[in-house]
């Protein structure tokens, strides 16, 4: 086999090093190395195996056949823990020595069966083979160079220099590729963080702080909402009157990608059917008596933003059909118009009704219900989220104090705080707000010491110290009365006072007195206390 001129080889080696230095991607670096190796040896075919990230296998990453790059080939990975001693590739990797087989299809002392199988598939028969381990500057094997059907064998010095350069270049390219992958991941994470930070800043600068959620029940609601805040999904809010559906709707809007666009509210039960149709869909001039000019409907006005339809269960059936079409097609036709208007609006509907019952009574369309019910959210009543009562009350006190321009917000007394947490709130958050605002107005603006519930002043006798002091003055003490009888009479009077104050709710009386319910029941039997007393 002929040899190349040493000077020509050195020039080629220099040109190859320059080519490798200019490449930053692993695939292009490997292709350049294989092209250069084939040029040095005038080889028809070649393979470069590269150690994978697990460092357990070498992958055939670059393959040339008849001078052409092959992406679909039959060469298999080399598993390091399954290498065979008599295989030329395995021997080169295990010993770190170069393997040169001059007569590949004659007996040469190596097991070349897997090479024969691949060449049978590719319909080629190479005369010779060279397997050269690629080692980096840390003396670590990073790959294997395989050349087949070579026409020139260069001097060993040039080939050694070339493979050293190739090993270092592959090691550098692998590190660079891993570095770039890490940079890309960090860049994506950084984009996500910037987006989240922007949303958080928008929340902080907004006057609306969203629903107060100290309770587990409301935390679950907000967790459910997090899944769709940035998605173009309509939402159905369900819950009793006064549970804060409008507040939650505004929270969804302000934490979505539509936050900079309009947020429009319409109560479907607040205006008559004829006016509601015009209000929602708009009308053209002359469409009906009194339509003296064009009017843009709320759907069109909310384009790009959010439309909150409160009390959707009270919407007339005729308008329900039109609403269904808008939700399905995202187009509307104003009254008196012949042109369709395309809209991009997120619809948040809310109701306190049981829509399934409304459907059974033919008062609500089933198809509209199933269209709205894609993502339902049920808001718990205030009596089921008692941990939120005091934070909500303090929030309403702060708002009322700002409205009244007070220097500071008044503070609730312990008794008032206890009263607030013990009430059931059939009107939910709306009723709590009314109670708190009234309490602020009736206070001295320093301390809120009493509240009015259901238009009645809550009993002032809830203070146990006042009860004890007042009742002790009325206990009859006779010289002939024993201490045990005096204490018994006193205890009976105190129990009666508490029971009357708490409307004979024994559990609340027991909690106030710090007694087990069983002990309170025993004392009531002992002193013959009943509601008839």
- Record the tokens describing residue 261, joined without a space: 């666009």
Contact, 439 vs 396, CB < 8 A? no
185 versus 97: the higher-pLDDT residue is 97
pLDDT band at 423 (very low <50, low <70, confident <90, very high): very high
pLDDT in tens, 45-73: 999 998 887 888 888 989 999 888 888 89
Total residue count of the chain as it appears in this document: 533
pLDDT in tens, 350-372: 999 999 999 999 999 999 999 99
Residue 11 has pLDDT above 60, yes or no: no
* CA neighbor of 212 nearest in space, from 356, 53, 390, 354: 390
Secondary element (H or E) of residue 345? none
pLDDT in tens, 203-219: 444 444 579 989 999 99
pLDDT in tens, 222-276: 999 999 998 999 999 999 999 999 999 999 999 999 999 999 999 998 888 878 8
pLDDT in tens, 108-125: 888 999 999 999 998 889
SS (H, E, C) 69-116: ECCCCCCCCEEHHHCCCCCHHHHHHHHCCCEEECCCCCCCCCCCHHHH
Residue 26 has pLDDT above 80, yes or no: no
Give the pLDDT confidence score for residue 272 in this predicted structure.
84
pLDDT band at 40 (very low <50, low <70, confident <90, very high): confident
Give the pLDDT confidence score for residue 161 in this predicted structure.
67
- Record the tokens describing residue 513, joined without a space: 């007195």
pLDDT band at 494 (very low <50, low <70, confident <90, very high): confident
Place of tokens 């989240």: 196
- Give the span between the Cα atoms of 449 and 459, in whole angstroms: 11
Residue 511 has pLDDT above 80, yes or no: no
198 versus 250: the higher-pLDDT residue is 250
* CA neighbor of 91 nearest in space, from 70, 67, 111: 111
Give the pLDDT confidence score for residue 23 in this predicted structure.
45
Average pLDDT, the chain: 82
Residue 517 neighbours by CB under 8 Å, 6+ apart: 506, 507, 510
Q: CA-based angle 470:439:437, to the nearest 5?
A: 165
């Amino acid at each position: 086999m002929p040899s190349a001129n040493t000077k020509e080889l050195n020039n080629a080696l220099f040109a190859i090093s320059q080519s490798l230095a200019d490449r930053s991607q692993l695939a292009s670096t490997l292709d350049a190395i294989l092209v250069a190796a084939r040029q040095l040896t005038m080889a028809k075919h070649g393979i470069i195996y590269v150690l994978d990230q697990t460092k357990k296998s070498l992958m055939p990453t670059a393959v040339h056949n008849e001078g052409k790059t092959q992406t679909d080939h039959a060469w298999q990975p080399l598993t390091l823990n399954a290498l065979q001693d008599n295989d030329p590739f395995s021997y080169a990797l295990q010993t770190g020595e170069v393997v040169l087989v001059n007569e590949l299809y004659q007996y040469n002392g190596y097991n070349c069966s897997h090479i024969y199988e691949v060449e049978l598939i590719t319909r080629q028969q190479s005369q010779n083979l060279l397997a050269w381990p690629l080692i980096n500057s840390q003396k670590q094997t990073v790959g294997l160079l395989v050349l087949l059907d070579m026409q020139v064998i260069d001097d060993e010095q040039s080939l050694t220099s070339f493979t050293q350069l190739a090993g270092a270049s592959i090691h550098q390219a692998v590190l660079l590729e891993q570095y770039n992958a890490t940079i890309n991941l960090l860049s994506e994470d950084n984009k996500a963080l910037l987006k989240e930070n922007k949303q958080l800043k928008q929340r902080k600068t907004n006057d609306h702080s969203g629903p107060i959620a100290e309770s587990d029940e409301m935390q679950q609601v907000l967790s459910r909402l997090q899944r769709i805040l940035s998605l173009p999904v309509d939402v159905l809010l369900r819950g009793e009157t006064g549970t804060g559906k409008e507040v939650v709707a505004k929270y969804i809007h302000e934490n979505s990608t539509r936050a900079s666009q309009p947020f429009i509210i319409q109560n479907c039960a607040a205006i008559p059917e004829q006016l509601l149709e015009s209000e929602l869909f708009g009308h053209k001039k002359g469409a009906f008596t009194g339509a003296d000019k064009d009017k843009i409907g709320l759907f069109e006005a909310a384009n790009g933003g959010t439309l909150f339809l409160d009390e959707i269960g009270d919407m007339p059936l005729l308008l329900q059909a039109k609403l269904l079409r808008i939700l399905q097609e995202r187009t509307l036709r104003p009254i008196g118009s012949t042109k369709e208007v395309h809209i991009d609006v997120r619809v948040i509907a809310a109701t306190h009704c049981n829509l399934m019952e409304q459907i059974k009574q033919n008062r609500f369309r089933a198809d509209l219900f199933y269209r709205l019910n894609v993502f339902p959210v049920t808001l718990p009543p205030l009596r089921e989220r008692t941990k939120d009562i005091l934070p909500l009350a303090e929030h309403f006190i702060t708002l009322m104090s700002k409205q009244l321009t007070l220097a500071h917000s008044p503070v609730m007394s312990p008794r008032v705080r206890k009263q607030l947490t013990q009430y059931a709130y059939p009107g939910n958050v709306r009723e709590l707000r009314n109670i708190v605002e009234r309490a602020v107005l009736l206070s001295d603006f320093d301390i809120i010491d009493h509240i009015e519930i259901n238009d009645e002043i809550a009993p002032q006798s809830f203070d146990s110290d006042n009860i004890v002091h007042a009742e002790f003055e009325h206990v009859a003490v006779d010289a002939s009365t024993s201490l045990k009888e005096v204490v018994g009479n006193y205890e009976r009077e105190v129990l009666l006072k508490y029971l009357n104050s708490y409307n004979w709710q024994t559990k609340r009386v027991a909690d106030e007195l710090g007694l087990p319910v069983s002990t309170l029941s025993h004392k009531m039997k002992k002193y013959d206390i009943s509601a008839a007393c």
